């Protein structure tokens, strides 16, 4: 199983202080380099239409330095499609951004937008970019995803993660993920998964077959903040230590 690290929240932290500026910390480009050096198999970023975290300049700078695979998450909107075709990530993952595109489970409504998604899938593939569709573990969505000709689906693990503490719901969500992964595999789709995965729920996900890649963001960035905090405080104390008044 491969790991794609979603570094959007590195940009979220930077934007909290430096929104509208051309610089700031933490730097998503360095974050991507650190993740790759640590063994990540890919870097995932989401260029949102509202640019709430990643900015266009980040996407280009990250494209330049990524040595593994760049996975660009994006809405199927004309502006972002044009950007993706220029940036040429190895793969795009089409995700819902606007409310009308969101099913109750939170994935893409592929069944309701099949034609538009198939068209974008073709444009991306023609440009040498693979396509993944972020969908809830729902049989009709898996079938529709296969009809679009996409190479991958990314199973939305949000509900599995959200209700992980509740044994009954967890079992039901896990069963849905297992069934949909099998169905997708049978239909010739390759299977990724993501959203809400963390250090506690990850081992249970091993029971889902055919998983190629997990995209994990928030829990890794959160863990980095806590595990890195002691070193950051010590470094600052070191700079203050020489004060002579
Ligand atoms: N996969 C997709 C399609 C996503 O939209 C996100 C969230 O941006 C993730 C994976 C990562 O989710 P998390 O940050 O909860 O690990």
Residue 216 phi/psi, 5-degree rounding, is -130, 130
Q: Determine the atom of ligand 1 nearest the C-alpha atom of 197.
A: 16
Query: Is 13 part of a structural domain of the chain?
Result: yes
The residue nearest atom 12 of ligand 1, judged by CA position, is: 195
**113 belongs to a structural domain:** yes
Please give the number of the atom of ligand 1 that sits closest to the Cα of 154: 3
Give the pLDDT score at 106. Answer: 82
Mean pLDDT score, 26-43: 98
Residue 198 belongs to a domain: yes
pTM: 0.96
Q: Which two tokens stand for residue 232?
A: 């950051």
Give a yes or no: residue 245 inside a domain: no
Nearest CA to ligand 1 atom 9: 195
All residues at 6 or more sequence positions from 134 whose CB lies less than 8 Å from its CB, including other chains: 73, 93, 94, 95, 96, 107, 108, 153, 154, 156, 194
Q: What is the count of structural domains for the chain?
A: 1
CATH number at 19 reads: 3.20.20.70
Whether 103 is in a domain gets the answer yes
Q: What's the pLDDT score for residue 98?
A: 67
On whether the CB atoms of residues 8 and 32 are closer than 8 A, the answer is: no
User: How far is the CA of 170 from the CAs of 36, 81, 184, 202, 240, in angstroms?
Assistant: 32, 36, 21, 12, 49
CB-neighbour burial class of residue 232 (10 A; exposed 0-12, middle 13-18, buried 19+): exposed
Q: Is residue 173 part of a domain?
A: yes
CA 219 – ligand 1 centroid, Å: 10
pLDDT digits (tens, 9 = 90+) for 155-209: 999 999 999 999 999 999 999 999 999 999 999 999 999 999 999 999 999 999 9
Any ligand 1 atom below 6 A from CB of 88: no
Q: What is the residue range of 108's domain? A: 2-240
């Amino acid at each position: 199983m491969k790991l794609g690290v979603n570094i959007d929240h590195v940009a979220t932290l930077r934007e909290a202080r430096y929104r509208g500026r051309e610089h700031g910390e933490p730097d998503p480009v360095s974050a991507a380099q650190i993740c790759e050096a640590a063994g990540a198999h890919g870097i995932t970023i989401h260029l949102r239409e509202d640019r709430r975290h990643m900015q266009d300049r980040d996407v280009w700078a990250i494209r330049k330095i990524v040595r593994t695979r760049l996975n660009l998450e994006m809405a199927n909107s004309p502006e972002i499609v044009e950007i993706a075709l220029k940036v040429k990530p190895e793969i795009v993952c089409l995700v819902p951004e606007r409310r009308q595109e969101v099913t109750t489970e939170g994935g893409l409504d592929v069944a309701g937008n099949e034609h538009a998604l198939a068209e974008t899938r073709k444009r991306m593939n023609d440009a040498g970019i693979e396509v993944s569709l972020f969908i809830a573990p729902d049989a009709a969505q898996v079938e529709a995803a296969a009809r679009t000709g996409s190479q991958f689906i990314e199973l939305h693990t949000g509900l599995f993660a959200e209700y992980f503490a509740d044994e009954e719901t967890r079992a039901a969500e896990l069963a849905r993920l297992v069934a949909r992964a099998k169905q997708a595999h049978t239909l010739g789709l390759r299977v990724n998964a993501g959203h809400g995965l963390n250090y506690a729920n990850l081992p249970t996900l091993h029971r889902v077959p055919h998983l190629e890649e997990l995209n994990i963001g928030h829990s890794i960035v959160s863990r980095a903040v806590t595990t890195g905090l002691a070193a950051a405080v010590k470094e600052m104390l070191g700079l203050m230590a020489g004060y002579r008044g």
